[in-house]
Structure 1
Amino acid sequence: MGSLQPIFQIAGVGFIAAILHTVLKQSGKEDYAHWVTLLGFVIVLFMVAHYLGDLFAEVKRVFQLN
């Protein structure tokens, strides 16, 4: 189950951002809704970058590249 954890974390951030976007948009705060969406995207982007760094480090370790 450890290999699916990043997928669930990214999905969780997306789900929370979508809910907040909907609530803010319905309450007439469309500007804040767009900022929440952008913030969710940036958070996911950093998460993916972190996981890609881990992946490249693991590939380096497996193939013993310097």
Structure 2
Amino acid sequence: MDVNFIFRIAAIGIIVAVLNQLLVRSGREEQAMMTTLAGLIVVLMMIIQQIDTLFQTIKTIFGL
């Protein structure tokens, strides 16, 4: 995992936070919630891929 991965997650978080505030202030709370949920799902999918890579590396190191 490199620093770019952390910056990508931070960028997604900032974009989702700004969109959330814009949508809430315009009275679209449901769409704001869906935007936040979509951002969370995207970040979780990115993290799951990194965890899979970690497990594959551990398996090759220990010869499992």
Quick check: TM above 0.5?
yes
Cα deviation, residue 63, structure 1: 2.4
Q: Which amino acid aligns with 1:19?
A: V
Q: Report the secondary structure of 2:27's partner residue.
A: coil
User: In the alignment, what sits opposite 1:10?
Assistant: 9
Separation in 1 of the partners of 2:57 and 2:13? 27
Whether 1:40 aligns to 2:39 is: yes
Aligned length in residues: 64
Gap runs ≥5 in structure 2: none
- Report the TM-score, using the length of structure 2 for normalisation: 0.87
Q: Which runs of 4+ in 1 moved over 3 A?
A: none
Q: Which amino acid aligns with 1:6?
A: F
Cα-Cα RMSD: 1.3
Q: Which amino acid aligns with 2:11?
A: G
Gap runs ≥5 in structure 1: none
Q: Which amino acid aligns with 1:16?
A: I
